[in-house]
């Protein structure tokens, strides 16, 4: 690379059009984001209602029996029949089990680590899907 090429590169860099802010989000994408946000709000309202209806002694992990505490966290709610596979059961109270963070991670990583939830999943599939 010669001296002239370096000078030419520096000159081009000075003359480049500056970038202005973030890229515009398309209308379709904006609509999908809005729908997703509304769905999340609806989910949160539904799950919070179920949580508030529980007595303090009922706020325990379905799998391990450990207490979940008094504060509602969305991570505690597990859809036994997953939302993405069975969207029609998304807002069914019988499809929700309260689990600890660790159990929730385990059940999604490898359901064999959670025998109670695995058995319940099979039972609900037999009852509602087949």
Q: Is residue 1 part of a domain?
A: no
CA distances from 28 to 31, 33, 42, 82 (A): 5, 9, 21, 26
pLDDT in tens, 65-105: 999 999 999 999 999 999 999 999 999 999 999 999 999 99
Q: Is residue 73 part of a domain?
A: yes
With a CB cutoff of 8 Å and minimum separation 6, the contacts of 128 are 81, 86, 89
Q: Is residue 41 part of a domain?
A: yes
H/E element, 78 = strand 77-79
For tokens 């379905």, the residue is 62
pLDDT in tens, 100-121: 999 999 999 999 999 999 999 9
The C-alpha atoms of residue 11 and residue 3 are separated, in whole angstroms, by: 12
User: Domain tally for the chain?
Assistant: 1
CA 129 remoteness from chain centre? 23
> Exposed, middle or buried by CB within 10 Å (0-12, 13-18, 19+), for 130?
exposed
Structural domain range at position 46 = 27-129
Q: Is residue 3 part of a domain?
A: no
* 15 pLDDT above the threshold of 90: no
């Amino acid at each position: 690379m010669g001296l002239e090429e370096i000078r030419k590169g520096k000159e081009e860099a000075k003359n480049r059009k500056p970038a202005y802010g973030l890229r515009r989000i398309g209308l379709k994408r904006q609509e999908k984001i809005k729908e997703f946000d509304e769905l999340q709000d609806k989910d949160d309202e539904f799950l919070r209602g179920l949580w508030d209806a529980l007595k303090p002694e009922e706020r325990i992990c379905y799998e391990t029996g450990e207490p979940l505490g008094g504060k509602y966290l969305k991570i505690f709610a597990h859809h036994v029949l997953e939302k993405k596979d069975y969207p029609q059961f998304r807002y069914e109270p019988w499809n929700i089990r309260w689990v600890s963070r660790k159990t929730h991670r385990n059940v999604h990583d490898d359901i064999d680590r959670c025998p109670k939830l695995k058995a319940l999943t099979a039972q609900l599939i037999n009852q509602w899907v087949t």
